[in-house]
């Protein structure tokens, strides 16, 4: 077999990279984080007892990461056969069922001719293959019909079901891929969960059919269908044999080698527990599992397939079932080939039928796709197109303030515990030394500007810029301004007017506002006047990905960098919260600045980052926040946060610890009733929360 050493650089091989200062540390960061998860995967599992003691919790974790813990109620399937197609060797029933009310699954059930007793069954799940004609979607099941027909011709009942993305009712798989639905991460939603649930209910349907031997159900599919085969086989023991085809590889391929850029969200769980993918394969053990792939598949590289197989095989061997896991490799790229089809059928023959026969016929499509259509008219009550809003329940935000301080304390502590475990579980468990060092200090026109570097999380060295009036030794107030990309450009535009010889060059363009930044003597004059009138030090920090550590600015690359974070059980914004925490810690080590009152300020989504940083650091006197999003629906994206709380509840927790000033435009509808009610009910100082509109 030919091993692929790399699928391209971490930035992807399709486009020339744009040289950016943050590219190298980011690539190193992804290598480190991926390596840590790789090394932790199945670490410490030495005996079958070790594995069995963890297996139940691993399955529960997978269900949670799919949005299926607890499992939804199994409501009536309401199956309806809308048409039948007769062929000399098989019969097809065009049918639909509802995996939950209004969530329609369309499929074709292939029944072998002349079957006199219940037969083994195959659930076939499809890859991403749109089948549309004159604006009508016939479902990707029609593109994969040759598999169902082929299994039926060999004595299997086969149910082929449409996926959410390319079914007859067209839903969405590409939320973060290019649709900017980053709130999926905050909601803890992935379409992988919907596909896994539809597979579970499809098995329910197969077991309702008298033609099916309920104890002999296999599952297979390729590409996206290969991934769903992994999810369903790992969480449902009724799958007695599985053959996922080109549907999974490890994090190294996805994150370091860049394969994530070729995949939509249905291929990934919300990685709350920070898994690498061999653990999914291990959960199938000891049931028969054949991993199949080609040797030149650029989106499922062979080296990652082999690594996954080898780790999973070790668990099979603990069961003394090394013969129940196999690896079949065919030549070629990401294609549905006979080299992969024949091994799948032979695997099912061996493990579901106890047979070893020569396969003499080929899998070829035999029917026009129009004959396999289920719906003449799409149902009006379908929820397929908005299932992302409904599938994972969001927490019902507390709207009434707690009646007493004890009730508030209990609620607050529960929220904080959930945030630590489910939202910020990707933070380092052991912080590295800050290693704060002074980079330079300069005086210009009555203003002193100092630069200090610190380690947030290796390899990210971030810089604090401390501005004060010249001669100020002990500030009465420290203000940490957390910069987004526009804020970084504004900072440079103002301070380079006097400190051009020490500050970095202006960026070529402001990617946030879409306009080139400019030097502004007026902005520096305003800053100088403010510093002269107040004994304050204004400290500027740009978290990772902003300013000095900004990486490739192309929108597509920005998207897939953010997606890499979520494959690692993080979000970019969640790690920026960590950066702000580390900046606050670094400030307290600076000369003369250990005891001064410390405020945080920021704008937009970065204001939300500042809110969460304030919840995990002591001695934050106040927050000045401009245009703070009212909901994580609008950002920042923090893993699973909306299963715990939303922004008004976070503001209430911040207001308990610090003064909070929310600055909003006059035409912006204020929606901070919850933190205002908590402040009033619990008798906090009147200035603890202020909403300023102008």
DSSP string, 586-609: HHTTSTT-SSS-EEEEEEHHHHHH
Q: How far apart are CA 527 and CA 503, in angstroms?
A: 16
Give pLDDT, residue 403. Answer: 81
**What is the domain class of 428-596 according to CATH?**
alpha beta
**Whether the predicted pLDDT of 46 surpasses 90:** yes
Q: What is the mean predicted confidence (pLDDT) over 430-450?
A: 97
Q: What is the pLDDT of residues 274-321, one digit of tens each?
A: 999 999 999 999 999 999 999 999 999 999 999 999 999 999 999 999
List of residues 6+ apart from 599 with CB closer than 8 A: 477, 478, 479, 480, 620, 621, 622, 623, 624
Lowest mean per-residue pLDDT among 80-94, 143-157, 428-442, 506-520: 506-520
From 292, 259, 282, select the one nearest 34 (Cα to Cα): 259
Spatial separation of the C-alpha atoms in residues 436 and 434, rounded to whole Å:
6
Three-state DSSP class for 217? strand
Give the pLDDT of residue 520.
81
Q: Which DSSP symbol is given to 45?
A: -
Residue 518 reports pLDDT greater than 70: no
Q: How far apart are CA 236 and CA 612, in angstroms?
A: 38
User: What's the CA angle centered on 599, arms 594 and 605, to 5 degrees?
Assistant: 130
Looking at residue 594, its pLDDT comes to 80
Q: How far is CA 127 from CA 140, 221, 341, 373, in A?
A: 7, 7, 14, 18
Residue 11 has pLDDT above 70, yes or no: no
pLDDT confidence bin for 3, thresholds 50/70/90? very low
Highest mean pLDDT among 201-210, 664-673, 675-684: 201-210
State the pLDDT confidence band at 590, using cuts at 50, 70 and 90. very high
Asked if 278 contacts 311 with a C-beta cutoff of 8 angstroms, the reply is yes
Q: Considering the domain 23-389, what is its CATH architecture?
A: 3-Layer(aba) Sandwich (3.40)
Alpha-carbon gap, residue 160 to 150, rounded angstroms: 12
pLDDT at 508: 64
Token reading at 129: 């293959």
pLDDT score recorded for residue 399: 65
Report the pLDDT value the prediction gives residue 669, as an integer from 0 to 100: 66
How many angstroms from the chain centroid is the CA of residue 115? 45
What pLDDT is stored for residue 519 in this prediction?
72
With beta carbons less than 8 A apart as the criterion, state whether 33 and 567 touch: no
Reduce the DSSP state of residue 426 to 3 states and report it.
coil
pLDDT tens digits, one per residue of 292-305: 999 999 999 999 99
Count CA within 13 A, CB hemisphere, residue 415.
Answer: 26
**Mean pLDDT calculated for residue range 148-158:** 98
Q: Residue 438 pairs with which residues in a beta bridge?
A: 452
pLDDT score, position 183: 98
pLDDT at 473: 86
Mean pLDDT, residues 664-679: 85
Find tokens 């290796």 and name the residue.
458
Q: For residues 242-250, give the mean pLDDT.
A: 96
pTM over cut 0.85: yes
Q: What Å distances lie between residue 646 and 187, 448, 641, CA to CA? A: 10, 40, 7
229 pLDDT higher than 90: yes
Return the percentage of the chain with pLDDT > 70, whole number.
95
Q: In this model, does residue 14 exceed pLDDT 50?
A: no
Q: Please confirm whether the linkage preceding 459 is cis (ω < 30° from 0).
A: yes
Q: What is the mean pLDDT of residues 256-264?
A: 96
Q: Is the pLDDT of residue 420 over 90?
A: yes
**What single string gives the DSSP state of each residue in 291-302?**
EEEETT-SSS-H
Question: For residue 7, is pLDDT > 70?
Answer: no
Q: In 3-state terms, what secondary structure has residue 132?
A: strand
For the cut 80, the answer to whether the pLDDT of residue 10 exceeds it is no
Q: Which helix (H) or strand (E) holds 206?
A: helix 191-208
Contacts of 437 (CB under 8 A, 6+ apart): 452, 453, 454
Give the β-pairing of 325-330 and 289-294. parallel
* pLDDT > 90 fraction of the chain, expressed in percent and rounded: 90
Mean pLDDT of the chain: 93
Domain span(s) for CATH 3.40.50.1820 in the chain:
23-389, 428-596
Residue 515: what pLDDT?
53
Q: Say yes or no to pLDDT of 9 above 60.
A: no
Cα dihedral 561/564/570/573 (nearest 10): 10
Question: In which band, very low, low, confident or very high, does the pLDDT at 465 lie, cut at 50, 70 and 90?
Answer: very high
The pLDDT confidence band at residue 62, using thresholds 50, 70 and 90, is very high
Count Cβ atoms below 10 Å from residue 249 Cβ, excluding itself. 27
Mean pLDDT of 176-184: 97
CA 465 to chain centre: 33
With a cut of 80, say whether residue 391 has pLDDT above it: yes
Task: Check if the beta carbon of residue 137 is closer than 8 Å to that of residue 130.
Answer: yes
For residues 220-231, average pLDDT:
97
């Amino acid at each position: 077999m030919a091993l692929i050493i790399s699928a391209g650089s971490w930035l992807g091989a399709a486009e020339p990279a744009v040289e950016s200062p943050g590219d190298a540390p980011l690539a190193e960061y992804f290598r480190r984080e991926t390596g840590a998860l790789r090394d932790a995967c199945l670490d410490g599992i030495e005996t079958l007892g070790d594995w069995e003691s963890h297996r139940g919790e691993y399955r529960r974790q997978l269900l949670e990461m799919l949005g299926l813990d607890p499992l939804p109620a199994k409501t009536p399937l309401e199956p309806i056969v809308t048409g039948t197609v007769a062929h000399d060797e098989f019969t097809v029933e065009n049918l639909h069922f509802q995996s939950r009310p209004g969530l329609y699954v369309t499929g074709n059930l292939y029944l072998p001719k002349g079957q006199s007793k219940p037969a083994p069954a195959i659930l076939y799940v499809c890859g991403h293959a749109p089948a549309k004609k004159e604006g009508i979607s016939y479902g990707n099941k029609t593109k994969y019909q040759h598999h169902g027909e082929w299994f039926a011709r060999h004595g299997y009942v086969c149910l082929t079901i449409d996926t959410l993305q390319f079914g007859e009712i067209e839903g969405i798989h590409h939320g973060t891929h290019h649709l900017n639905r980053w709130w999926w991460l905050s909601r803890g939603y992935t379409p992988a969960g919907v596909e896994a649930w539809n597979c579970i209910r499809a098995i329910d349907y197969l077991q309702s059919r008298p033609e099916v031997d309920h104890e002999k159900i296999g599952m297979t599919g390729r590409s996206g269908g290969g991934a769903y085969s992994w999810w369903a086989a790992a969480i449902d023991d009724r799958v007695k044999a599985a053959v996922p085809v080109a549907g999974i590889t490890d994090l190294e391929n996805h994150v370091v080698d860049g394969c994530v850029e070729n995949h939509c969200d249905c291929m990934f769980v919300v990685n709350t527990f920070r898994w690498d993918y061999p653990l999914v394969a291990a959960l199938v053990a000891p049931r028969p599992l054949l991993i199949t792939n080609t040797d030149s598949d650029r989106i499922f590289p062979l080296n990652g397939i082999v690594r996954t197989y080898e780790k999973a095989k070790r668990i099979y061997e603990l069961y003394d079932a090394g013969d129940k896991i196999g690896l079949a490799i065919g030549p070629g790229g990401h294609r549905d080939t006979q080299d992969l089809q024949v091994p799948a059928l032979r695997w099912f023959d061996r493990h579901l039928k106890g047979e070893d026969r020569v396969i003499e016929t080929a899998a070829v499509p035999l029917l026009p796709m129009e004959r396999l259509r289920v719906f003449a008219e799409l149902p009006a009550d379908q929820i397929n197109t908005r299932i992302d809003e409904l599938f994972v329940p969001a927490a019902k935000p507390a709207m009434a303030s707690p009646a007493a301080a004890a009730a508030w304390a209990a609620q607050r502590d529960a929220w904080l515990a959930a945030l630590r475990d489910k939202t910020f579980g990707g933070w380092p468990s052991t912080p590295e030394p800050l290693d704060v060092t002074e980079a330079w200090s300069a005086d210009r026109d009555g203003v002193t500007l100092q630069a200090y570097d610190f380690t947030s999380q290796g390899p990210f060295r971030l810089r604090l810029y401390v501005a004060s009036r010249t001669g100020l030794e002990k500030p009465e107030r420290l203000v940490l301004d957390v910069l987004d990309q526009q804020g970084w450009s504004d900072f440079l535009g103002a301070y380079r007017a006097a400190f051009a010889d020490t500050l970095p060059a202006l960026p070529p363009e402001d990617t946030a506002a879409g306009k080139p930044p400019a030097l502004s003597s007026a902005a520096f004059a305003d800053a100088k006047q403010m510093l002269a009138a107040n004994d304050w030090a204004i400290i500027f920090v740009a978290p990772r990905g902003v300013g000095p550590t900004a990486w490739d600015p192309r929108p597509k690359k920005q998207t897939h960098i953010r997606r890499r974070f979520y494959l690692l059980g993080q979000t970019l914004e969640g790690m920026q919260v960590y950066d702000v925490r580390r900046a606050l810690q670094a400030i307290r080590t600076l000369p003369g600045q250990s005891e001064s009152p410390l405020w945080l300020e920021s704008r937009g989504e970065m204001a939300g980052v500042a809110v969460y940083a304030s919840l995990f650091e002591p001695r934050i006197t106040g927050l000045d926040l401009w245009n703070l999003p009212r909901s994580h629906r609008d950002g920042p994206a923090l893993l699973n946060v909306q299963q715990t709380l939303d922004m008004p509840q976070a503001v209430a927790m911040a207001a308990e610890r610090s003064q909070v000033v929310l600055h909003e435009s006059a035409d912006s509808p204020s929606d901070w009733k919850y933190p205002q009610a908590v402040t009033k009910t619990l008798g906090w100082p009147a200035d603890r929360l202020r909403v300023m509109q102008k």
